Structure formats: structure tokens, C-alpha cells
Amino acid sequence: MKIAIVGGGVGGLTLARVLAVHGIEVVVYEREASRSARAQGGMLDLHVETGQRALRIAGLESEFLAIARREGQDMRLLDPAGKILHQEDTPDDAPMARPELDRSDLRAILLDSLPEETIQWGHALSNAEPAERAERAERAEAGERGEAGERGERAERGEQGGYRLRFTNGATAECDLLVGADGANSVVRPLLTDARPAHMGVNSVELGIPDADNTHPELAAMVGRGNYWALGDGQHLAAQRNGDGRIRVYLSFHGPEDWLETCGIPFGEPEKARAALADLFRDWHPQYRELIEACDDTVVPRALSALPIGLSWSAVPGVTLIGDAAHLMPPAGEGANLAMLDAAELALGLAADPANAVRTYELEMFERSAAAAKQSAEVHKLVMAGADALLKFFTRTT
């Protein structure tokens, strides 16, 4: 079976790795030009039964332990007045239940585990269609008559005919199984469902302080070794310590999808954007504005969206989805974990029982992602409701 994975994020790369471990060749088509074309974003906490399990199946446990930061599990919850409402400090011998790791480190261990030729960089999928339909259209265009090609014959016998992929760089490719691992705005998804991500009523802006221990030691101490959340009415600030010494700062504002365009903040002019963003925290304790003002020129605005909870689809031969393409959900620490587990489960299925693997995987994935999406939506609602609501949640469950 010729397998094509579209998207070389955590899901697509984990799938390629587990398939490779089982001797199954695969090609990953990734739109980015190279492995270093884009900074990969912040930290991920990998959970024992999902993300960590996938890495064990991928045979990358020791590589994971080398990049996992136990102390990244520390957590501080504050109110706008700067009062610490809840604090968790991780003992040195605490279990690695949810250690944090840099997304770039995770991507590096996955890429290093794959033969170089597995990844086709600079291949952004523009469209995929059943191969026999593409062949018929080509023959008609060429004015040809006569025998159907091999895939056309297989389709006429009722066998799966595979997919023809077209990329924005002009390249084409064919495969028997197409796996969409192409994230939130998946190009593969419409082959299976009409569902589209809907805006969640919140927009975020990512900023960051490089080498915080040396450049801003007081702010670094304030944030601590892990996650730092300050929640207010209609907006919040989250900061997290990364393995490379950077503190990433995420500012979130409740509002409609077009808020990023209508708010008047010039996101393309970092100095002015920082000043305008800090001003939105003028009624909060001055420490929050200091944190924003200490950031460098990285300013990444994002509108947050999610797919419907419990999304599923009828089986379509030769195509499936993993990760955010299948179940984009509010960022509550599950998305990457689920993408990796999807990948590992699908790969194990394809190695053991290729004929039934995809549907078996899909039915299990629908169930677990519906439960996780429901839970993530609840956490998102608590975060939107402010510090007191989240405090009740922490003190109830810890």
C-alpha cells in the first residue's frame, strides 16, 4: 500500500515514524520549505497515556526523557491584582506525569528518527481527488479513448482506487491511502466531511522574552519554572518557561473573530503593538505590563477556533484524518497528545491488519476525541470565566 501523509507536524511525523519502525514506507508532504523554515511555537505537556505512549510505541522513549522538563509541571494561578491564588511546585522526584517539552525539540527527535527522503519539503497540498476520476479527466482532456489505466480498472472492479495529489509547486503524486495530518485548516478534511472550525470567541497574541534569566531575572523568577496564568474579566495572560530560556507570553481577549482586525492594534509594528497591548492591562497590577513591555519583536496574533465536539464521518475508502485535522479543539493541553496517539494507533493497525485498519482506527478515535473535546471545552469555559472559577476546579481536582 502506498501511503501519503499530508502534514509534517507532530501527528504526521509520529505516524511516519511508527510506520517506519514496522518497515512500511511512507512519504510525508509538508508545505514548509525546510525543517528550520518556521519557529515551532511553545511548550507541550505530554501525558503518560497519550503523547508519551505514542513515543514509547515509536521507540523514542530515551530521546523523550532527554528533552522532557519535569519542573515544567510547576503552575501558578493569579488574579489581576497580582495575588497568587494557587501554586504547585514539582518535587525533584515527582513522576513525569505531564512533563513539558519544547515543540521544536519534539519535532527534532521525530525528524532525526526518519530517513531524510521521507519528508518532501515545500509540498503544500492544493487538492486531492480520487485517482480514477483524475485519470478519466486527463484522458478526456487528451481526447484519448481505449483501455482504462490500472487504477481505473481497479475502481471498476470496486477496489479502492487511491488518490491523486496536486501541490502548489506544480508537483503531483498518487497514493493508495491518503492521511490528512494537515492541521486546523486541513485541505484533506473536505474529502470526508463538510465540517469547518468555528471561532471560539477568543483571540490570542503570542509574545516572548528571550534568555529571560539573564535579561529580566525578576520577571523570570515571577513566572517560575513552568506555567503562569493570570485570569481577569474578558482577558487573560499566560506565560510559560521554555527549555531554551525563553518565556513565552500569551495574551487572550474575548471577542469576535474580526477583533484582531478591528481592535486597532498594529500587530506588524512590534513596539507600538506591545505598548497598545500593555495598555489593555492598565487596570491590572503593574507586573503584568512589565512582562509585556519586556518582550521582543515576535508578535503572533491568532484567532482560536474548534471543530464541532463529537465530529465523525462515514468511511471513505483510501482517506482518513489524524490530529487537529480530525478534531481541532480548544487549547487545553490535549491536541498534540491526541494527534500523536492517533498516529501511533493508526500505524499499529496498518501494520497488523491493513484492510480494516482505517475504519477501526476512526471509530476508536471518534470516541476518544469526543471525550477530550468535551473536557477541553469545559476547561476553556472555566478559563473564560476567570481566576475564581479555575481555582475552584484546581482545588476540587488536586
Residue 11 is a binding residue for ligand FAD (CB under 6 A): yes
Residue with cell 482532456: 141
What secondary structure letter does DSSP report for 69? B
Residue (292 or 325) nearer to ligand FAD, CB? 325
Residue 187 · residue 127 · CB < 8 Å: yes
Among 227, 226, 205, 234, residue whose Cα is nearest residue 80: 234
Residue 324 is a binding residue for ligand FAD (CB under 6 A): yes
Mapped onto helix, strand or coil, the DSSP state of residue 88 is: strand
Mapped onto helix, strand or coil, the DSSP state of residue 318 is: coil
Min CB(117)–ligand FAD separation in Å:
17
Interface pattern 30-59 for ligand FAD (x via CB under 6 A): xxx-----------xx--------------
Per the annotation, does 45 bind a ligand? yes
Per the annotation, does 324 bind a ligand? yes
Residues in binding contact with ligand FAD, number by CB under 6 A:
29
Per the annotation, does 164 bind a ligand? no
Residue with cell 531575572: 217
- Residue 283 gets the label, from left (phi > 0), alpha (psi -120 to 50) or beta, of alpha
H or E segment to which residue 293 belongs: helix 286-293
C-alpha cell at 389: 472559577
Give the Cα separation of 134 and 127 in Å (integer).
11
Q: Which of residues 124-163 bind ligand FAD (CB under 6 A)?
A: 124-125
Interface pattern 235-274 for ligand FAD (x via CB under 6 A): ----------------------------------------
Residue 179 · residue 28 · CB < 8 Å: no
Q: Which of residues 73-112 bind ligand FAD (CB under 6 A)?
A: none
Which residues define the annotated binding site?
38, 45, 103, 324
Q: Interface with ligand FAD by CB under 6 A: which residues?
A: 6-12, 29-32, 44-45, 124-125, 181-183, 187, 323-325, 331, 333-337, 339
Residue ranges of the binding site for FAD: 45, 103, 324
